[in-house]
Structure 1
């Protein structure tokens, strides 16, 4: 059973209960006031007649006597009031009635004892005519004797008009209640369907996502911000958040696939070189190989040394690539760098000195680094040196002619380390991707040596130190990287 139908049945049942209670109260009140005047008049006449009844001694033909009960004369004067009177004598089973009762008699209990037990109001049907009768049983003792007479005074009134009124009222209330409940169920089912429509939209959206994996589905709702409105808003936010999560997962999977593809590409080149050189050395030193016999030992040694140098260079290249991949793997697993207060002046000057010995064709210079005196950052010495060497080596690689410089500045609670070059630069559209793994401009892939992982590692190191990096570049004019690190207050280190 659907929620709409259950809601409709619930408030239809509640409405039926309210109508039943309300109708019962109305019916009881109308019943009370409809019969109240009749009952009051009957009770008044009963009280009056009971005080004026007479007992007479009537002689019989067999010279015996019997006691008879007589109604007062005013009993025959109650016709205008629609009051009917009957007096029953249990001693001789004789009945005395008012003239307006004609040949009809009220039903009487069999004995005076039963009459006393049934004293009060009783409804009777006499010749298909409804009566409301009050029964008053009594025992009368003749003064001065021990003789008693038991009788039953019955005073009633026709209630046909009142009964008809109550029947009509009951008929109207029953049919009006039925019609009201049917209308309420129809309107309630319509309103329930309309109010539950947003929930149906939620179900359809969920089914659409389940069947089609379309997380861009949103539930349209322009109603009030009630419970359903808030629920739809929450579901839409949940869908948006889920879509974001799935997009991040897709991006992560795409980056992982790209990482594996690029790593395979980068590893395939040195492996191909190593395998080619080893195959060449086998043929070179194989006595039965063609061309080997024509070479002198000195020539074979020279060629062998060149091949071994190539194998060594490619092995070192593979080692660097694997180390870089391990560093990024540690970053992916959430590994953090242990940080300590470090005097930045000593570290940067050491890097600037050692940069003179790097392989390069460009000139190397650094500005006034005295501004770093007394400057401390919360960091790791080895990782900070690695990060600076990555940017410097990267500048040397892409600056075949020109100058690479290192400068420092302290500003607004941060220290900036600026590595600038006058090399080939890059297009501004490439800047958002240069920190991606294995990303290298198409013009530089295969021309400039490198794995494409250095800047990714450098960015990870900067982020672990709570810093940021700026990139300023122009094609064919050079590139500038500015590494910003937050300053800390720490005692000088000896």
Structure 2
């Protein structure tokens, strides 16, 4: 089933359910009100009858007064279909027929206490005030046989009002007046209410159907726009934008969809940039590997055909050895990066003094820096305690220093180490060419080289992997790395390593 029909159906179900509940509640309320109003009316008649019954003609006997009064009253109430029964102190009928016992003991008990008895429907099995129903007429000579029909086939509503007389010992029952009206007369108002509710329900159904269609069409049209936009994204269009307001959950969904498209577009651009750098990397690696391989192959062929003088052979072997080591270094850097990135590299972290490692980095790269006219300055106290893997810490500092040498001519490279609360800070600062904001954005990504033309020296400068390796190692240590740089001024790379128990958590590398 389509969503628009589901919405229409759900709206109709809710509306019609509410109408039915309200309708049934209204009918029951009107029914109860009709009976209550009828009870009040009948009790009013009974009260007035009890007053008039004892104020007849002064010169007539009591029975003559009653007979005259009841005859007049019957004539007056004829059009209202009311029935009247008069009972004596034993609660047996005296009018219109005398000597009949038509009430149950429970009803008599209430009347003797001076309470009014109400009977909603004398044909209902649930009514308990009247005697059980028997077939045929009730005779005075057979008091065991009683009738709840009271000489009529129609259903009646009754009110029995006790007649009490004050005595020295208290209130005493002297009789009762039982007056009733037809149930169908009471239900006339209820039937009118039912008819009105049915009409209102029919009108409500038609109006709700129209409104449900309008609302459902509006809601589903907004969802349809999202569906069309999703299809466009599927087909590769990442410039899609779904217009929305800030009103409801569908607008929130549209906003999230737009953010997703922007994120996808950004990711797509990054993937393309990554692919471009990968292609550049493959070209660089091919170029770097072709040079030493060509050198090694040429020297081997020269030796094979005795084209190299005897005295030059040791130098040729030494050159081949250096070129072979260069090839091994390129391969090892790539393997090392993959091992670190995949988490296969196991760190052995201990707490130690990093001063010796900083000194080793200075001594190891001093000659390499001198070839470029640079000098390495060590700025650190004699004790710099750190919680890290010693070999990997040295690798990180070597990579950062080599990167500084690569992009610095006739400058100074300063290597620092300092303690702070719950951690250690290392920094490598150079006075080289620096970087702009765009270069800083990608500097830690694999294959990226801020200035490929400056990749002259060994190590990380050839592959563009050195800073990516540093980033992965810092994160595995639970630390942080940041870079500050300004073109033609220099760059500063800072590593923060935390003490045990204070490391940062990363979801991925």
Q: TM (normalized to structure 2)?
A: 0.60
Q: 1:441 aligns with which of 432, 443, 450?
A: 450
The residue that corresponds to 1:117 in the other structure is: 146
Hey, what's the Cα distance between the residues in 2 that align with 1:22 and 1:171? 13
**5+ unaligned residues in a row in structure 1: which ranges?**
54-70, 90-107, 135-154, 223-228, 287-295, 490-494
Work out whether 1:29 is the aligned partner of 2:36. yes
- Pick closer, same or farther for the CA change 1:283–1:418 going to 2, 3 Å: closer
Q: 1:481 aligns with which of 480, 483, 492?
A: 492
| Contact 1:416-1:485 at 8 Å conserved across structures | yes
Kindly provide the CA deviation profile for residues 220-242 of structure 1, in whole angstroms up to 9, marking residues without a partner as x.
343xxxxxx5x568757875886
Hey, what's the Cα distance between the residues in 2 that align with 1:433 and 1:387? 18
- Pick closer, same or farther for the CA change 1:307–1:212 going to 2, 3 Å: farther
Q: 1:341 aligns with which of 351, 355, 358?
A: 351
Work out whether 1:320 is the aligned partner of 2:308. no
- Pick closer, same or farther for the CA change 1:46–1:303 going to 2, 3 Å: farther
Work out whether 1:261 is the aligned partner of 2:279. yes
The residue that corresponds to 2:485 in the other structure is: 472
**Larger mean Cα displacement after TM superposition, 19-28 or 411-420:** 411-420
Query: How big is the alpha-carbon RMSD for the aligned residues of Structure 1 and Structure 2?
Result: 5.4
Q: 2:418 aligns with which of 397, 407, 410?
A: 410
Work out whether 1:175 is the aligned partner of 2:195. yes
Please show how residues 178-193 of structure 1 align to structure 2 within 5 Å.
178-182=198-202, 185=205
- Pick closer, same or farther for the CA change 1:253–1:472 going to 2, 3 Å: closer
Work out whether 1:10 is the aligned partner of 2:29. no
The residue that corresponds to 1:355 in the other structure is: 365
Work out whether 1:398 is the aligned partner of 2:407. yes
SS of equivalent residue, structure 1 residue 378: strand
| Contact 1:418-1:480 at 8 Å conserved across structures | no
Question: Larger C-alpha radius of gyration, 1 or 2?
Answer: 1
Kindly provide the CA deviation profile for residues 313-348 of structure 1, in whole angstroms up to 9, marking residues without a partner as x.
565444323322233323432456332112021111
SS of equivalent residue, structure 1 residue 337: coil
Hey, what's the Cα distance between the residues in 2 that align with 1:7 and 1:14? 11
Shift in Å at residue 456 of structure 1? 1.7
Shift in Å at residue 172 of structure 1? 3.0
Work out whether 1:19 is the aligned partner of 2:26. yes
- Pick closer, same or farther for the CA change 1:311–1:199 going to 2, 3 Å: farther
SS of equivalent residue, structure 1 residue 297: coil
| Contact 1:221-1:232 at 8 Å conserved across structures | no
| Contact 1:404-1:419 at 8 Å conserved across structures | no
Q: 1:453 aligns with which of 456, 465, 468?
A: 465
SS of equivalent residue, structure 1 residue 372: coil
- Pick closer, same or farther for the CA change 1:177–1:422 going to 2, 3 Å: closer
Shift in Å at residue 110 of structure 1? 5.7
Hey, what's the Cα distance between the residues in 2 that align with 1:282 and 1:480? 43
Please show how residues 81-480 of structure 1 align to structure 2 within 5 Å.
81-82=76-77, 112=139, 116-118=145-147, 121=150, 123=152, 167=188, 169-182=189-202, 185=205, 200=220, 203-204=223-224, 207-208=227-228, 210-213=230-233, 217=242, 220-222=245-247, 250=268, 253-254=271-272, 257-258=275-276, 260-273=278-291, 297-299=306-308, 315-334=324-343, 337-358=347-368, 360-367=370-377, 369=379, 371-399=380-408, 401-408=409-416, 410=418, 412-413=420-421, 416-441=425-450, 444=453, 450-465=462-477, 466-475=479-488, 479-480=490-491
SS of equivalent residue, structure 1 residue 462: helix
SS of equivalent residue, structure 2 residue 496: strand
Kindly provide the CA deviation profile for residues 131-172 of structure 1, in whole angstroms up to 9, marking residues without a partner as x.
9999xxxxxxxxxxxxxxxxxxxx999979x976853x2343
* Total equivalences in the alignment: 409
Shift in Å at residue 402 of structure 1? 0.8
Hey, what's the Cα distance between the residues in 2 that align with 1:384 and 1:121? 110
Kindly provide the CA deviation profile for residues 434-479 of structure 1, in whole angstroms up to 9, marking residues without a partner as x.
222221235626767611111222233334441423333333x5x2
